[in-house]
Structure 1
Amino acid sequence: MQLQLNLQFFAGGAEEKTEKATPKKRQDERKKGKVAKSQDINTAFLLFFCFITLLVFGSFFKTNMATLFQNAFSEYIQWEVTESAVHQVFVSSTIEMAKMLSPIMLVAIIAGVAANLTQFGFLFTTEPLKMDLKKIDPIQGAKRIFSVRALVELLKSLFKIVFIGVITFAIIWFYKDEMMMLAFKNVDSALGFFGRIAMTMGIASALALFFLSIFDFIYQRYDFEKNIKMSKKDIKDEHKNIEGDPLIKSKIKQKQREMATRRMMSEVPSADVVITNPTHYAIAIKYNEDKASAPFVVAKGADHLAFKIREIAKANDVVTVENRPLARSLYDVIEIGDVIPEQFYQAVAEILAYVYRLEKKA
């Protein structure tokens, strides 16, 4: 009975990941270099464009290769084997081979970059290069080897080998009669025939691999989406991390309100008049033609805050005027720092005129 309860507890503890990944989760995974991609698309791009390059530059490769062999068997073979001679042969051969291979290498780089850009756009990250002991963990390695994903990859590889093997065999079978007659042709014709067969099989294999890679990309995308799914708790935790803990946020807002209140109270002594309700509302108004074209509010409050405003005004000899409808109306429609709306000009002007008369008499 106790064992059953423990099993139920652990089963309920791990929350099932049923929700789609949030944009932040996707961005975090992308920064780690984890994106949905098919290696077969890279291989198909590479094979196709490399064979196209061989087809276009075939005569260039043939000429350079023939020149290299001609020099080797007609000139280099007669040289005395010395250190300088070996160095010269090595340097000249390397330069010729570099000339031949440079178009293929350039096309291979462009094809690899294009294949990745096609799948997931531009991505540069150093996260996969960081040291991670989990990668050399034998237990984790054994789990990966004997996992469902490994079995799927094995079946995919076998299917690709069979599919491409059938295509290449079909091409050879199609040209079998011409292949049987090669014994009656010269070397150039035989090499040309084998070159055409190789190009045909290479391009056909690349196209077949590209066709299979479309399905592989769909599977990789499905598997990626499945692996980055989140539980409802994960989404809540992420939201909490982004927005901040509600308790901390409330404390920050409280501190901000306290600081704003202190700043507001420090402006009350400079006000010209405080209009009150008289107990529920208090609006401190100041007129300074250098700052604004009309009187503006420097402080306002209700209930306890209104009481504090009245206290500060009294302590600093700021005139307090009771006008219930005006105080209530101003409190509802105006914020601190705003100028008085036009519809209240006359009422406020009368109060300021009254205040200025009192100050003049004083």
Structure 2
Amino acid sequence: MLYLNLDLQYFAADEKTEEATPKKRQDTRKKGQVPKSQDVNTGFLLLLVFGALFLLGGYMKGTMTGMYELAFSEYIHRDLTQKQTHSMFVEMTIEITKVIAPIMGVAIVAGLASNLLQVGIMFTGEPLKVDLKKLDPIKGAKRIFSARALVELLKSLLKISMVGVITFAIIWVNKDQMLMMSQKSVEVALAFFGTITTIMGLASALALLILSVLDYTYQRYDHEKNIRMSKKDIKDEHKNMEGDPQIKAKIKEKQRQMSASRMMSEVPDADVVITNPTHYAIAIKYEESKSEAPFVVAKGVDFLALKIKEVARSNDVITVENRPLARSLYQHSEIDQPIDEQFYKAVAEVLAYVYQLEKKM
């Protein structure tokens, strides 16, 4: 029964039931693993591109018409030489660029805007690294027949159906006018079909954007589910962030030793050591050029206090016994810091006594 309880606790600790920590989120973001919907990109792209076509249609038509007029009114009369061919090619390229460049610019802006809206600014090369695990046929088969693949299939069928229904509905509503275009001029017919095509594109883009909201919600839910952590993972993360307790203890011990060694090197320069007499020892120094008030160069209790007194004795530093002052200075003073104002009078009396004693000696 005991083993069964331990096994249950072990499996419970390994279950991914906890939300990801900020560090886990940051690490997954560095790897390029962020919630993102391609439908948002597609919807923005179609909406802005067809919007640009709707606004710039007249300009594009005029440019293309001008190209045809120039070709059949001027270029057709030119001599077919290398220089003339190069000149015509350059002029045509410039005119075509005037038509294509605005649409390409809008497409680039749409791509950047949709990604910034979902992911924000992110630079990472992790997804570009070669990963041989991706070539594993077993894992590949699992991805193909996974629940995520089924969702993507249903989503694709839904998108095709939506776009098909919208396109058919617009054509069906305008079928009578389409049939009448055979009796209209080419210019009128082209304008009509261009308008219908733009309407179909904008309607499809709006439908995809509505669908992309649902898709992004699902992608975010799936991402949160994939980065969940177990209680053991969280403990391991905290342990790695804080470091091994044994190593931390050794570092602190080393720091204490270095601090004690540095303090001991300052004791010979102290003016006086105030003691408890056995448990506390505080080395005081007054140097007017360094501080307006006396400051503590070393302090300690028990063993460290004995070492301070031993070093002071070896270097002829006067020791003064004052139990309440020693305790108070130890509790309210820091090393290399001036003493508190409340101790000025008491320490001044001690220093005065020390200076008189040194003068007699």
Between the aligned partners of 2:69 and 2:349, the Cα distance in structure 1 is: 111
Q: Which moved more, 1:121-130 or 1:305-314?
A: 121-130
* SS in structure 1 of the partner of residue 284 of structure 2: strand
Between the aligned partners of 1:69 and 1:133, the Cα distance in structure 2 is: 54
1:52-201 aligned at under 5 Å gives the runs: 52-72=51-71, 87=86, 90-201=89-200
* SS in structure 2 of the partner of residue 204 of structure 1: helix
Q: Which moved more, 1:231-240 or 1:167-176?
A: 231-240
Give how far 1:294 is off. Answer: 2.1
Which residue does the alignment assign to 2:214? 215
Confirm whether residue 271 of structure 1 aligns to residue 250 of structure 2: no
Which residue does the alignment assign to 2:20? 21
Between the aligned partners of 1:242 and 1:14, the Cα distance in structure 2 is: 20
Which residue does the alignment assign to 1:337? 336
Which residue does the alignment assign to 1:318? 317
Give how far 1:348 is off. Answer: 2.0
Q: TM-score, normalised by structure 2?
A: 0.91
Between the aligned partners of 1:89 and 1:130, the Cα distance in structure 2 is: 46
Between the aligned partners of 1:287 and 1:154, the Cα distance in structure 2 is: 82
Between the aligned partners of 2:297 and 2:92, the Cα distance in structure 1 is: 87
Task: Return closer, same or farther for 1:13/1:134 CA change in 2, 3 Å cut-off.
Answer: farther
Q: Which moved more, 1:287-296 or 1:221-230?
A: 287-296
Q: Is contact 2:275–2:326 with CA below 8 Å preserved after alignment?
A: yes
Superposition CA RMSD, Å: 2.3
* SS in structure 2 of the partner of residue 178 of structure 1: helix
* SS in structure 2 of the partner of residue 57 of structure 1: helix
* SS in structure 1 of the partner of residue 281 of structure 2: strand
Between the aligned partners of 2:13 and 2:260, the Cα distance in structure 1 is: 47
Q: Is contact 2:267–2:311 with CA below 8 Å preserved after alignment?
A: yes
Which residue does the alignment assign to 1:50? 49
Task: Return closer, same or farther for 1:193/1:299 CA change in 2, 3 Å cut-off.
Answer: same
Give how far 1:175 is off. Answer: 0.8
Q: Is contact 2:13–2:232 with CA below 8 Å preserved after alignment?
A: no
* SS in structure 1 of the partner of residue 338 of structure 2: coil
Give how far 1:107 is off. Answer: 0.6
Between the aligned partners of 2:295 and 2:193, the Cα distance in structure 1 is: 93
Q: Which moved more, 1:120-129 or 1:91-100?
A: 91-100
Q: Which moved more, 1:175-184 or 1:257-266?
A: 175-184
Which residue does the alignment assign to 1:259? 258
Give how far 1:76 is off. Answer: 5.6
Could you list the per-position Cα deviations for residues 189-242 of structure 1 after superposition, in whole angstroms to 9, with x for gaps in the alignment?
221221111011111111111111111111111111111111222222222222
Could you list the per-position Cα deviations for residues 92-121 of structure 1 after superposition, in whole angstroms to 9, with x for gaps in the alignment?
433322221000000111111111111121
Q: Is contact 2:35–2:220 with CA below 8 Å preserved after alignment?
A: yes
Could you list the per-position Cα deviations for residues 312-357 of structure 1 after superposition, in whole angstroms to 9, with x for gaps in the alignment?
1111111111122221222222122232333323322222222222
* SS in structure 1 of the partner of residue 142 of structure 2: helix
Q: Show structure 1 runs of 5+ residues with no match.
A: none
Residue type matched to 1:195 in 2? G
Which residue does the alignment assign to 2:34? 35
- Aligned pair count reads 355
Give how far 1:186 is off. Answer: 2.0
Task: Return closer, same or farther for 1:304/1:192 CA change in 2, 3 Å cut-off.
Answer: same
Confirm whether residue 352 of structure 1 aligns to residue 354 of structure 2: no
Q: TM-score, normalised by structure 1?
A: 0.91
Which residue does the alignment assign to 1:225? 224
